[in-house]
Amino acid sequence: MDVHIRTKGHAGRITLHRPKALNALTYQMCLDIEAALDTWRDDDAVKLVVIDAEGDKAFCAGGDIQDLYDTAVAGDFAYGQRFWRDEYRLNQKIFNYPKPYVALMQGFVMGGGVGVSCHGSHRVVCDTSQIAMPECGIGLIPDVGGSLMLARAPGRLGEYLGTTGARMDAGNAIYAGFADCYVPKDDWSTLLRALEQTGDVGVIDAHTRPAPTASFSTLQVDIDRHFASTDMNDVMASLGEDETEFAASAIKLLRKKSPLSAAATPTLIERVRAADTIEAALSEEYKFTYRAAQHGDFIEGIKATIIDRSHTPKWRFATLADVGQSDVETMLAPLGDAAL
């Protein structure tokens, strides 16, 4: 059983149950979670929903992309397109869910894991939490509605997080708007019992402790200066003129990403910031993910990072400087009848 779904007391409980796979989200898990949410929406006995996960290493390190890779390599792009369409419908459902949705996020929370947790109404992090949107490293763009959180992050922090895939600890996740409160991991079992027994999210307050300092807050001025442009060549030039440790680290992270994906991400975030709805975010993301296997770097990104683990992908464009704005616009162009 990859996801354990049940009710306990006043709580609908969802537990991701693939600890050896870092609780990576399969297509069926998405469908099972959606079905549970649909059932509980009109069940008066269920006052709130809690999603958590087995194991200490990860809440959910992302989507299970083996099937996406296998089908895409075989020339079947429809499977991935359908997977993303259905996953995004779940993300929207969580964002708009009429009952409190509590997410307990330990360890790695990345990509698809962000999509089933960070859209909840009450997002709890702890001492081990490491949240990130690393999609540019596998030839995608920040998706599962993550572009909306990036767009709403302070200043240009979203552009920095989305293009570099930098990880956020508990303090930074709260600062960036990916989490709400810090509860030490040792207190989670007590908190869970209280949520089940009372059906009242107010009990979270009693367990909340001061969040660790957000290091990104001290870097905000630098981030805003360097990531001000939607043209990543301007960003790289700005970083290149800065001799700080932060700039050197950002350049190193950016050079590992798909140039096409990294180039498209600031334009994606800019569009989503203007619209400021989950529906617009998912719709804009889908334009890119729909094309990612056939016209982008998705297959190569998965091959290099997951399949043969060479970590030396042969991207469609050698560097960011080789990607034109027209290439970005092509990946983010309207999909017509295939639109989300």
Crossing angle of the two packed helices 27-41 and 78-95, in degrees rounded to 10: 30
**Reported pTM:** 0.96
Average pLDDT over residues 135-156: 98
Strand ordering across the sheet containing 48-53:
3-8, 11-16, 48-53, 101-105, 122-125, 181-182
Query: Would you state the pLDDT for residue 162?
Result: 98
Share of the chain above pLDDT 70, in %: 100
Residue 52: φ, ψ to 5°: -145, -170
Question: What is the arithmetic mean of pLDDT over 275-284?
Answer: 98
pLDDT at site 66: 85
93, pLDDT greater than 90 = yes
- In this predicted structure, the answer to whether residue 1 has a pLDDT above a threshold of 90 is no
Average pLDDT over residues 285-295: 97
Considering its fold, how many domains does the chain have in total?
1
pLDDT at 288: 98
Residue type (1 letter), 73: V
Q: Which residues of 168-182 are buried (b: 16+ CB within 10 A; e: fewer)?
A: bbbbbbbbbbbbbbb
The C-alpha atoms of residue 235 and residue 227 are separated, in whole angstroms, by 5
Could you list the residue range(s) of the whole structural domain that residue 298 is in? Answer: 1-340
pLDDT band at 144 (very low <50, low <70, confident <90, very high): very high
Q: What is the reported pLDDT for 311?
A: 82
Catalytic residue chosen out of the listed positions 32, 87, 143, 327: 143
CATH of residue 200? 3.90.226.10
**Would you call 63 a catalytic residue per the annotation?**
yes
- Percent of the chain having pLDDT more than 90? 95
Is 43 annotated in the active site? no
159 is catalytic: no
Identify the active-site residue in 62, 107, 112, 113. 112
Average pLDDT over residues 116-135: 98
Catalytic residue among 12, 34, 62, 63: 63
At 64 the pLDDT is 85
> What does the pLDDT look like over 184-210, one tens digit per residue?
999 999 999 999 999 999 999 999 999
pLDDT at residue 73 in the model: 92
pLDDT of residue 23: 97
List the helix and strand counts (H, then E) for the chain.
16, 9
**pLDDT tens-place string over residues 318-337:** 999 999 999 999 999 999 99
Residues 6+ apart with CB under 8 A from 186: none
Q: What is the mean pLDDT of the chain?
A: 96
* Residues near 44 by beta carbon (within 8 Å), at least 6 away in sequence: none
DSSP state letters, 23-42 = TPBPHHHHHHHHHHHHHHHT
The pLDDT of residue 45: 97
- Gyration radius from the chain CA atoms: 19
- AA identity, residue 325: Q
- Structural tokens at position 95: 């964002």
112 is annotated as an active-site residue: yes
Per annotation, catalytic residue among 135, 169, 196, 327: 135
pLDDT exceeds 90 at position 307: no
Tell me the mean pLDDT in the region 8-19.
98
Q: What is the pLDDT of residue 309?
A: 82
Give yes or no for a contact between 115 and 90, defined as CB atoms under 8 angstroms apart: yes
In the numeric block, the tokens 């800065």 are attached to: 242
Average pLDDT of span 309-315: 89
**Alpha carbon separation from 305 to 131, 164, 258, 325 (Å, rounded):** 19, 16, 12, 27
| pLDDT, position 67 | 86
How many Cα atoms within 13 Å fall on the side-chain side of residue 202? 2
